[in-house]
Each structure stands twice: as C-alpha cells, then as structure tokens.
Homo-oligomer: A and B are copies of this chain.
Amino acid sequence: MISIAVDAMGGDNAPREIVHGAVLASKANPVRIFLVGDESTIKDELKQHDYSSDSLEIIHTPDSISMDELPIKAMVNKPNASILVAASLVSDGKADALVSAGSTGSVVLSAAKHISRIPSVKRSAIATVYPTLNEFKRDDHLALMVDVGANVESSAKELVQFAIMGSTYVTKVRGVGSPKSALLNMGEEETKGSEKMQTAYRMLKEVPSLNFSGNIEGKDILRGMVDVIVTEGFVGNIVIKTLEGTAMAASHLGKLAFRARFSWKLGLFF
C-alpha cells in the first residue's frame, strides 16, 4: 500500500482543509496517510469526520512554518516543523510521497534537505502542467512550464537544466519523443530580454538532446506550439497565476464587453 506524508499544518486553511482532504483521500484510495502536525489540533479536526484509524495516523510535532516566515530562517529555527518532519518520513522510507500546501520555499528547502536531487542537477524546480489549444496536435492538450516558483531567480545554466528536466518528464510521462522546448521571453528574437536570457538562448541551442525552438512570447503560451516552456520561478509563478486569474475573469469580461464600448486591449473582448 502506498504511504503518503501530509504536512497537515501547511496551507491557507490548515489544518482544517488539509485534514478534510486527507480523510476524503483515505476513503477514495487504498492509501496510508501520515498527518504531520500538532496532535491535539489535528484530533479536533478529525472529530468532524468519519475515518478509519487504519488509514490515517497522526505524527505529532508542535512546530510549523507559516506563509509569511522567511523559509531559510524558519528551517534553522524550527528543525521539527511539520514540513521537515513530513519530508524526513520519505527519506526514512516510511512514506513514499510528500504532500504539502504550505509555503513553497519551505517545501522546496525541506525536499532539498531530505530527498536528494538527480546528480549534477544544481537546483530543484517546480513544473506545472497546463491545458493548451494543442496546435501541435499531441494526443492530449497539455504543456509543461518550469520553473513556476521553486526559485525566484535562476542562472542561464540552471534554466538549461530545467529545459532538460522538463523535456525528460514529457518524454517519460507523456510518451512524446523529442519534445519541443522554448524559452519564455519578451520577444521572439535571440537579442530580446536580459543578458541572462540571451546567454540561456545560446546555451539551449547547443544542447544536442534538446529540441529547442527558440523564444516564446506570453501570447503564445496557451497555443500549445511547444511541449516545455522554460522560465525563471518569479516569472513562471506570476504567469501561471495570471492564467488562473484570467480564466476566472474571462466570462465576466465577455459580458462587460457587450455593455461597455471603450476599446478593449484584449483581443477576444471586442
């Protein structure tokens, strides 16, 4: 049976929603879940639910890291924080996977401390799979963006590693041979963006294992012309959240467009 270490204290509505989710997951799947966090608070939440104590176990720790703490400081000051204890369950072989809705920085640093990276990969990254218009005619409508926030800034060399990691993921998980990758930039030309982006472009072109197609602009992210979009975490995080926000706003704006007559800047809303 698969065992999952859950950081019960991490997230905007923790531990309430985390415990609720764990209960639902324990009923829907044959899994064993470790709820890591403050025992009495978690117990109070569990009282609200029916659950089997065979599939849910509390691992007590009094500390947790909140969203507004500096992750790197919090890691030092709170060695027994729930996210760190949860990550250690994986490294100890007690759990097979780690789930947390907490501070991204703390999750990444905890994983870095307890779960080792692929040799020679310098930094972890967060990849997000998102739906596209699939102009590339894949079997699914998905593309991958990496990094969406594990790091704030990355070097050109790290961006090249993200491209390789993302392309490997797409090949292994989606079965796409030679997936197309692109660098998110403020123009298609090689001379666009900062020195770092221009260096990354030149380095990406020279990796034989990559099918690098050059720069991609924001307007083409959803078209599905490439399988992997590479960017620094700061930009990727804002872009992915912009996509989420736009999706929620689109139907509202469509209605507004019929009522108001000023010139919209967004093409769809004429």
Contacts and interface: CB of A to CB of B under 8 A. Distances in A.
A153 B192 CA distance: 12
Interface in A197-239: 197, 217-223, 233-235, 237-239
Max chain B C-beta neighbours (<10 A), residue from A129, A152, A260? A152
A69 B130 CA distance: 33
Given A245-B219, A245-B222, A130 B265 contact: yes
A233 to B, nearest CB: 7
A131 B186 contact: no
Nearest to A134: B256
Number of copies: 2
B234 A218 contact: no
A252 interface: yes
A124 to B, nearest CB: 16
A246 B222 contact: yes
Interface in A250-268: 250-253, 256-257, 260, 262, 264-268
B237 A186 contact: yes
7 contacts: A131-B264, A131-B269, A132-B249, A133-B249, A185-B238, A193-B234, A243-B265
